[in-house]
Structure 1
Amino acid sequence: MSDRFPRKAIVTGSDSGIGKATAELLATEGFDVGLTCHRDVAGLRDTVAAVEARGRHAFTEPFEASRPDAGEVVDRLAEKLGGLGVLVNVAGTGHTDRITDLSLETWRHVLATDLDGPFLCAQRAARIMIAGGHGGRIVNITSVHEHLPRYGAAAYCTAKAGLGMLTKVLALELAEHDITVNAVAPGEISTPMTGQEEAQAFHESRPGNPAGRPGHVNEVASVIEFLVSPRSSYVTGSSYVVDGGLSLMAAHGHDGLDTGWRDAGG
């Protein structure tokens, strides 16, 4: 694997949370960044300002991951960037419906957002990277629920598990083009998606988590940055769980530990 790809990245869902932190860190590492948001235009402006404060260019596009034409945002941003070396699929959604109450409409919307959208974006990114002949990096943000089930999240867990397997197939097929593809699977991270402010990561108590607290967005972004750096050139098809050790605790339920937590990131 090489690191010849241009330092130009697209980060979907970059208006807040993990996507915003990732865009800022990539800018710090010398990347120009293409950014997307669904509704939080003010948040996206903040990310643009943070990228530009680091001396890099930022370009924006609206994005609805559930649309059949979702992948076209990659073409538009790659054109603005003048190339593409990295795609980070962050944008996603969730739900809280038990199986018996889960509507087909919600099921389809969550799968379209969390699986179809990343597939379409990765497909477009791969085509651009192959045409450029320089390799690249694709990172899909799944969830600890790529690996573990959760009550009231059948569609979410199914989509994230599917994205985890898609990551492996992409890695297998794209390796010959010097494109690595990996997944990052966050546990509970203090983001708007989990109803928390970022600073709560260091002040909230989680007795059921070995780390004793939620994660901070920068702790996830750091793993993503590693996976797009030359240091990870021999890593592909892997899923990196970033959950403070929470997923290790399943066998301890009989000990009466408080293993309650709000939601996974990603």
Structure 2
Amino acid sequence: MSGIPDLPTNIDTTSRAQRAIVSAADSGIGRATAVALAAAGSDVGITWHTDEHGALDTAEEVRAHGARAVIAHLDTTDIPACGDVIDRLAEELGGLDVFVNNAGTGGATPLLDLGYREWNEIITTDLSGAFVCIQRAARRMVAAGTGGRIIAVSSVHEHQPRVGSSAYDAAKHGLGGLVKTAALELAPYAITVNTVAPGEIATPMTSQTDEDPHGTERPGIPLGRPGHAREIAAVIAFLSSSASSYITGSSIVVDGGMLQMGPQAGSHLTSNEWRSV
């Protein structure tokens, strides 16, 4: 696909029923997003990597909102086969309007100790796999000719680094660049592409599964606590809706103000002394 495409003239992005796929929707941000999209009227494709029971629980919550749920296993290190999973789910849903690339992994190994195997696993999972899945979703949306929404769940580390996270930081910086370029190239097809960049969120990835973050003190975060997965899902649901029709190529940071402190300070400060002069 090359050259300047003809601009579609018959795209209605305001009233169509939505068909969405959310990767890694077996827990945390992915589950909250799948449920939020179902509550907004979307049928949802749900993927899981290691927790099939979690995916089944998510599907049950989606169906409780009167929406359809379909489930598939997805391993974003299995390239290019991970893209086939997106195609199969889209076929089962009868189309694809929204793709949320949420699958990812992290690490906490200093650069000098980081082995290539760990580096490659993180880069492949968080960036190369994201490319394949986003590309497959975009191709389907372009072929359908009815516009679409692509949202990648990134991190505050898309914007600022963290000690011990060289591979993760590189992957998330790369994901941000991928999304910006995709936004430029897909805009003529009425497909918007954005990232949501969470800070510390109470999820399995931060060892805070199903915890109420309002009871956890974080002095280094201006709002004083981690976020809830539903607070990220609400932003993703907005970006998936017609209300966000003029937003593309953006990274929406949802971090309780962490980036204003620098992520390293946001997670490491142990007192509130910084709040006063």
The reply to whether TM is greater than 0.5 is yes
Partner residue in 2 for 1:247: 259
**Structure 2 gap ranges (5+):** 1-10, 272-277
- 1:145 and 1:31 map into 2 onto residues whose CA distance is 30
Say which SS state the counterpart of residue 252 (structure 2) adopts: strand
1:190 touches 1:199 (CA, 8 Å); kept in 2? yes
- Among 36, 40, 46, the residue aligned to 2:57: 46
After TM superposition, give the deviation of residue 70 of structure 1 in Å: 1.3
Partner residue in 2 for 1:216: 228
After TM superposition, give the deviation of residue 72 of structure 1 in Å: 1.1
**Structure 1 gap ranges (5+):** 260-266
1:2 touches 1:233 (CA, 8 Å); kept in 2? no
Partner residue in 2 for 1:120: 132
Instruction: Report whether the alignment pairs 1:232 with 2:236.
Output: no
After TM superposition, give the deviation of residue 212 of structure 1 in Å: 0.2
- Tell me the amino acid that sits aligned with residue 132 of structure 1: A
After TM superposition, give the deviation of residue 203 of structure 1 in Å: 0.5
1:8 touches 1:84 (CA, 8 Å); kept in 2? yes
- Among 67, 78, 82, the residue aligned to 2:90: 78
After TM superposition, give the deviation of residue 251 of structure 1 in Å: 10
Say which SS state the counterpart of residue 235 (structure 1) adopts: coil
TM-score, normalised with respect to structure 2: 0.90
- 2:134 and 2:264 map into 1 onto residues whose CA distance is 38
2:20 touches 2:45 (CA, 8 Å); kept in 1? yes
- Cα distance change of structure 1 residues 100 and 232 upon mapping to structure 2, 3 Å threshold: same
Partner residue in 2 for 1:3: 13
Q: Could you say what the CA RMSD is over the residues aligned between the two structures, in angstroms?
A: 1.7
- Tell me the amino acid that sits aligned with residue 13 of structure 2: D
- 1:102 and 1:190 map into 2 onto residues whose CA distance is 26
Query: Percent of aligned positions with the same letter in both sequences?
Result: 52
- 1:105 and 1:251 map into 2 onto residues whose CA distance is 26
Partner residue in 1 for 2:177: 165
Partner residue in 1 for 2:74: 63
- 2:263 and 2:169 map into 1 onto residues whose CA distance is 20
After TM superposition, give the deviation of residue 96 of structure 1 in Å: 1.1
- Among 117, 122, 143, the residue aligned to 2:155: 143
- 1:87 and 1:251 map into 2 onto residues whose CA distance is 28
CA deviation profile, 1:130-170 (whole Å, cap 9, x unmatched): 11010000000000000010111100010001000100000
- Tell me the amino acid that sits aligned with residue 235 of structure 2: V
Say which SS state the counterpart of residue 55 (structure 1) adopts: coil
- Tell me the amino acid that sits aligned with residue 137 of structure 2: A
- Tell me the amino acid that sits aligned with residue 197 of structure 1: T
Partner residue in 1 for 2:29: 18
Partner residue in 2 for 1:200: 212
- 2:262 and 2:200 map into 1 onto residues whose CA distance is 15
- 2:204 and 2:184 map into 1 onto residues whose CA distance is 34
- 2:98 and 2:17 map into 1 onto residues whose CA distance is 8
1:2 touches 1:230 (CA, 8 Å); kept in 2? no
Consecutive aligned runs of 4 or more in structure 1 exceeding 2 Å deviation: 197-200, 250-253, 256-259
